[in-house]
A and B are shown apart, each in its own frame.
Chain A
Amino acid sequence: MSSVALTVNGRSHTLDVDPDTPLLYILSDDLELKGPKFGCGLGQCGACTVIVSGRAVRSCVTPVGSVGAADITTLEGLGTIDRPHPIQQAFIDEQAAQCGFCLNAVIMTAKAYIDQHPRPDDQEIERAMSGVLCRCFTHTRMLRAIRRYARGGAA
């Protein structure tokens, strides 16, 4: 165990943890955040995605000790039920979910990509989302929501 300092959604935390612990467990168990989720623990599905210094990172395979002082943003760090972030609003507008378990994967991966690649075309979006899974297969609506956000929120 050792002392690890993290900045999550703009708040600083100092935790006494094994630095090899995957970041996901720190976020969901120590900090009790509900956005990042355990899907596979193998970096294969995206459920655990957080944004670290602007990049989408799979927190289930990222040791907490490797993150350093970088800013970590989770799904709840984007917006709230009353004031959703525009990408969250796009998913609400498109009713783009079934069980919702993969929403973290989809929204965080898409946001990080579009923030770095504004105005992507459909093929670029498909490529960016090619490592993200949804087993309810809400793909059609989710891609519509991502395109809506990429266009600045317009339908």
Chain B
Amino acid sequence: MTPEAARALAREGFSRRDFLARSGALIVSFRASGLLERVLDAQGPFDTRASHVDPRQLDSWIAVAADGRVTAFTGKCELGQGMLTAQTQLVAEELSVPISRVHLVMCDTDVCPDQGTTSGSQSTPTNFNQGSLARAAATAREALVKLAAARLNLPADQLIAADGAVASRTDRTRRVLYGDLVAGRKLNLPLDGNAKRKPPGEWTVLGTPVPRLDMAAMATGAFEYVHNVRRPGMAHGAVVRPPSVGATVASVDEGSVRGVAGVLTVVVKGNFVGIVAEKPWQAMQAAAKLRVSWREAATLPAQASFYDHMRTRPSRDAFTVHSKDVDDKLRGAASTLTATYLHPFQMHGSMGSSCAVAEVAGGTVTVWSATQSAYPTRSGVARVLNVPVETVRVIFTRGSGCYGINGADTVSYDAALLSQAAGRPVRVQLSRKDEMAWENYGFPYVIDERVGIDASGAIVAWDTEAWFASLGGRPGYDAPGNVVTGMLAGFPTAPFRPGAAAEPSGEFRNGSNAAPSYVAGRVGARAGGTGTITNERVLTHTVASPFFTGPLRSPSRLQNTFAHESFMDEIAAHVKADPVEYRLRHLADDRLREVVSRAAKAAGWDTRPSPKSGSTRTGIVTGRGISAVAYEGDNGYVAMVAIVDVDQATGAITAKRLVVAQDCGPISNPDGMRNQVEGGALHGLSRALGEEVTWDDRRVTSVDWRTYHTLPLGFSIPAIETVLINRDDVRATGAGETAITVVAAAIGNAVFDATGVRLRQVPLTPGRVKAALALRA
């Protein structure tokens, strides 16, 4: 057993002996078996790992019933992006059974393997390539063929699996049904690293636009979300969050709710305060009425100067790349260009405020949770309740779309704490304000960009220095204090430790897109980047955030890409080059080059430098802009051309048309991918144009949909055109965070093209546009 595996077991509360007893004697190195996938940054664990459900055993993933129905167990859940349908397609394809005969169980810690967190655009890479669920399904098919060979007395290579049976290739009447082969027994086999997946060319289910399996239930109100879970004897909880950041409980006057209808109990644990009542409305009213005396102070840095404040804080530094010759090159360059880009805290802002149901009874704990992290949440709940982890079961139950760590984890702790105290099943649904004031926001960024340009107009050195603020994050298996409930209940938030940057070592990793696509990414002898610029420095400073932060759809990648792709546009304009042609001149990666070219072609790109000549200085003007990225360096390739109108009287930007070209390798479900591109494009537009967390000297003030601005259904929606590049000779990559990453720069670049004005601060509000227009020479 590897040290990692041993630590994983220990963390789960198992001794090695327990694990051996439960899983049989086969212990191999997890890393060598390829089951551990890479972990990028600190977004959370995505990999498949040891638990009481042994991920190396086929039976942990796939069960074939006597009637031929297939049940698949996965540790990657449906968050609204189509993973229920796509994973069902995968299993149906590899096992050659109709989709209707496959049932997928997602993230129930009693029966599903631990696949960490469903996030980071890692579900497709993890489960749709050679490992985990895909490997299990391929292993199962080969095992069934082998069983059939013995049963039919034919060599395995003369057999074919089709429609839930194995038959002779030459005489299809000689066949045996899966159900008859297995008869509901366990297959009792390890996953086979040599099991062959079906080549994409032979796919008939995977790769096709199978309609969403959950669509009709959702459209008719039959679908059960976590909000709809009802348990016998269930009570309802509400939480009383602090009135300001850093506030602590001085006293709680429980008498203030005595006699309020339906109130069962007031729960105080450290600074966690909650109420349990018979009915949800009673709980909410009682929570509003409960008199809590808080110690509080004005502690928050001023929002108006926050970006400058970030630069002055102690920081933990990291180089992504550092060729050490950048300053010399910049000094020797024919010209240099600098610019600073700013990106605010933004929120997940789920449509439904987060909800969970917990049942603490008879020495066990069951939590129905919309968490992305079933097993980590299981560990977190065990810590928060101080009970053994083996007694906790988390049953993933769908919630409102999360886009990263919304309130799903924290409300799971809320429900667990209140159920433990009340001795009844408790459902907690956060108020809108509880959700928005205390969630883990997306990181704010300050990014300084600097390049040197030679006499031919080519970039000879690129220097990026960024600051971003961070606090808490995903709780993982052992840090419940990384979200608000855990912190209030007394668990430490991961401490901030400043530190100097080490020189880059190992291989170039661009998981946060800290480096622009145009640098070569040379670390040691190898250049791992997608660009041509070899004089390169990318330094990132992490500073402490006053608010909780965490992964928000395209975390850091979006902010960094806004800066890099806007700046690339500035450089192209500086040397009077066409923005598409200039990008291609500095790109070495074929897949990234292709999405840039394909997006430009599909958009009917007008090849010329920006800004457009002849635009008037009044009225509405139109421009076009492009932006592109290799998401996380190699996890999906996307380019977007935006066509926008700018109303120079009001400063309003209206996106008219967004053309997206995307290459995420072999496509599991093209309609699902289009849905992700369309949603990502408009989510990105909303974040680019209006979304910004606001605060005063004590508290967050963007706490509802009047104070936090999202684009509603009725806004003037741009036409979205999607070019999907389907490749079957590469790994399948994530597709949920690609399009969103490039929107803000594409829009800003189009505004520049239309007006000659450069916007360097998100959101690109009418006020900022007008202010920039007023400064126009």
Contacts and interface: CB of A to CB of B under 8 A. Distances in A.
A49 B113 CA distance: 38
Give the bracket for the number of chain A residues in contact with chain B: 35 or more
B686 A137 contact: yes
Given A38-B352, A41-B432, A140-B720, A1 B675 contact: no
A135 interface: yes
A101 B280 contact: no
Interface string B698-714: 00000011100011111
Contacts of A38: 227, 352-353, 355, 429
Contacts, number: 192
A142 interface: yes
A143 B682 CA distance: 13
B187 to A, nearest CB: 33
A134 to B, nearest CB: 6
Contacts of A95: 211-212, 215, 671, 675
B675 A34 contact: no
B322 interface: no
A34 B223 contact: yes
B222 interface: yes
B713 A25 contact: no
Contacts of B236: 29
B565 interface: no
Contacts of B683: 135-137
B678 A129 contact: no
Interface string A124-145: 0111111111111111111100
Contact of B715 (A22, A125, A130): A130
A97 B714 contact: no
Contacts of B351: 39, 45, 47, 99, 101-102, 133-136
Given A38-B429, A140-B678, A140-B720, A101 B352 contact: yes
B279 interface: yes
Interface in B345-403: 349-353, 355, 398-401, 403
B401 A126 contact: no
B503 to A, nearest CB: 41
A98 B679 contact: yes
A59 interface: no
B117 to A, nearest CB: 17
A121 B597 CA distance: 36
A53 to B, nearest CB: 20
B353 A133 contact: no
A28 interface: yes
Interface in A79-126: 79-81, 84-85, 88, 91-92, 95, 97-104, 106-107, 125-126
Contacts of A139: 682, 711, 713, 715, 717
- Residue in A40, A75, A130 with the greatest tally of chain B CB atoms within 10 Å: A40
B712 A130 contact: yes
A127 B679 CA distance: 20
Contact of B221 (A21, A35, A128, A143): A35
A71 interface: no
A133 B705 contact: yes
B774 interface: no
B714 A126 contact: yes
A80 B80 contact: no
Contacts of A129: 712-714
Interface string B188-231: 00000000000000000000000110111111111111011010
A1 B261 CA distance: 9
A78 interface: yes
A141 B432 contact: no
B431 interface: yes
Interface in A42-74: 42, 44-45, 47, 74
B306 interface: no
A141 B82 CA distance: 15
Interface string B679-694: 1111101100000000
A33 interface: yes
Nearest to B720: A140
B217 A81 contact: yes
B71 interface: no
B400 A101 contact: yes
Contact of B222 (A40, A80, A92): A80
Given A84-B219, A133-B712, 16 more contacts: A22-B281, A35-B221, A37-B225, A38-B227, A40-B432, A41-B284, A44-B432, A47-B351, A81-B216, A92-B215, A97-B218, A101-B351, A135-B351, A135-B683, A139-B717, A142-B713
Q: Which 8 A-B pairs have the closest CB atoms?
A: A99-B80, A35-B221, A130-B714, A100-B218, A99-B401, A75-B221, A76-B221, A137-B682
